[in-house]
Amino acid sequence: MSVFTIIGLICLGAIAGILSSLVGIGGGIVIVPVLVMAFGLNQHTAQGTTLAILSFPVALVSAINYYKRGAVNWQFAMIICIGFVVGSYFGSKVALDLPEKMVKRIFATLMILVAAKMFWETK
């Protein structure tokens, strides 16, 4: 791995970390597309790599800061976590069995729908 690649990945991580802590995004919206478009990973590998880095220690650091300010609902978090673990297991099984092009289209469609909803939301 080249020094340029290492520096690029560190910068990507820093940007994703800032955005993740700032507005709750990072993995899917920032890291996955950059790993595919700038670093040449395929969609499955980009998603798997992102999931690997967003595990316990990374999320914990941000969650602690939010908790210190009273901005974490631990009841909701624990209950959602149960569904998240089950959903992640089955979602990864399905995604890895789908063709990469289909996974990319699903990913892109979800990003467009979320962006449109947030853009035109009146609340």
Domain that holds residue 56: 3-120
Mean pLDDT within 93-115: 90
Give the separation between CA 107 and CA 114, rounded to whole angstroms: 11
Give Cα 85 to chain centroid, integer Å.
Answer: 15
Residue-wise pLDDT tens digits, 6-61: 999 999 989 888 887 777 777 678 888 999 999 999 999 998 888 888 776 777 88
Tracing tokens 């908790």 back to the chain, one arrives at: 67
pLDDT of residue 84: 82
pLDDT at 39: 94
d(CA 20, CA 25): 4
pLDDT tier at 87, thresholds 50, 70, 90: confident
Q: How many domains does the chain have?
A: 1
> 0.75 exceeded by the pTM?
no
* Radius of gyration (C-alpha) of the chain in whole angstroms: 16
| 105 phi/psi in degrees, rounded to 5 | -65, -40
Average pLDDT over the chain, rounded to whole? 87
